[in-house]
Amino acid sequence: MLSVHTSPLHQPGTGDAGGMNVYIVELAKRLAALDIEVEVFTRATSSDLPPSVELAPGVLVRHVTAGPYEGLVKEDLPAQLCAFTHGVLRTEAGHRPGHYDLVHSHYWLSGQVGWLAAERWGVPLVHTMHTMAKVKNAALAEGDTPEPPARVIGETQVVEAADRLIANTADEAGELAGHYGARPDQLAVVHPGVNLDVFRPHAPGTAHRAAQRAARARLGLPAEAAVLLFAGRIQPLKAPDVLLKAVAVLLARRPELRERLVVPVVGGPSGSGLAEPKSLQKLAAQLGIGDVVRFHPPVGQPALAEWYRAATALVMPSYSESFGLVALEAQACGTPVVAAAVGGLPVAVRDGETGRLVRGHDPADWARALEPYVTEPELAARQGAAAAAHAAGFGWGAAAAATAEVYSGALVRPAGRLALTRRKPA
């Protein structure tokens, strides 16, 4: 596996670490459980990092030196792809020919490296986009920066070279075909999963409300509050500002709700524009809701599950989501999700059953969608139970088994346009 711009060892919710990191970690572990050994190549971001780290039995993370360890943002990395590719090829050269059976690249930067590595080794290339420039540019947040033409070109090249393209949903597969010319024989739809051992409603035999109160006590939240949670990177794409503006609209209309409403924002900075936490704090103050909003740094998965269990609802006003793993995690904890009707979220969230889907990003519309979760406690309890049952069908074991089938198909029947030019491994 290739993950150039972010390491599976990094903490999701800050920098460029997010759902893709979780995806790679969980998928790699489950593939290893199926006797598929995985090595993940990622860029070294510190001189103190060892050349390799065992993430789990059968999963090795390799750190590749490519450019300065610190100070590079994702937009700087195309200039380091040559150095990164050299590191990957040099590692393979230390093994006997045929050591790697297949390359699975994640995000377009990794796809560029995977394209060359797969050609050099004569093995199939499987690629997962995670996000696409053309899709993001079609739904930009106000003040956000469009993805550059170089990324569009790079993604088009990767699609042309890949033997298989794994899409999170059928809609994403359609976007790959419509925007990038992907062919039917390249496309495979595999829904991501959720770690059901970590993300679960509560301990067996514990009532949901009791578990929620206990989680709130541990997090310092009021026992009887309505808690509208945002969890993720603070960046325009994720639109935490829409949540804050919606809360301001709701409180202007229903000021009596202020004393029982809490809005935690759990995550770190990323991107540009509204990406700075201080900007979001300033916005909360300008809107007059600074007393309602609480900012918390990113946390690990067990602590994040506590936040989900403590919440009345998770709010995801994103402008674009390839799937929305956070939505699955929250639902697995028995928490309904109020999400934008974009990307894979209509698959992750069942509108009216496990939460609510909102079209557009008008704060007034979001205020109307959120109000019942503040005023009707039974709504969250009813949808939360349905959410947990829905999420239970998205285990990572099933995702890994489906991905392994994609690998097998690529090994038997390569589909990439360039497949016929590849040499056979010695």
Numbered residues of the known binding site:
5, 11-12, 16-21, 74, 107, 131, 151, 233, 238, 299, 308-309, 311, 321, 329, 335
**Separation CA 223–CA 225 (nearest Å):** 6
Q: Helix 81-93 to helix 107-121 angle, to the nearest 10 degrees? A: 40
Give whole-number Cα distances, 272 to 10, 234, 322, in Å: 20, 9, 20
What Rg do the C-alpha atoms of the chain give, in angstroms?
Answer: 22
Strands (DSSP E) contained in 65-146 are: 103-106, 125-128
Q: Output helix, strand, coil percentages for the chain, rounded to the nearest 5.
A: 45, 15, 40
Give whole-number Cα distances, 321 to 112, 306, 325, 384, 426, in Å: 22, 23, 9, 22, 41
Cβ atoms of 322 and 345 closer than 8 Å: no
Residues annotated within a binding site for 1D-myo-inositol 3-phosphate:
5, 16-21, 74, 107, 131, 151
Residues annotated within a binding site for Mg(2+):
308-309, 311, 335
**Separation CA 29–CA 33 (nearest Å):** 6
Task: Return the closest-CA partner of residue 35 out of 111, 101, 128.
Answer: 101
Structure-token pair, residue 35: 């006797």
**Separation CA 103–CA 117 (nearest Å):** 8
Residues annotated within a binding site for UDP-N-acetyl-alpha-D-glucosamine:
11-12, 19, 233, 238, 299, 321, 329
DSSP 356: E
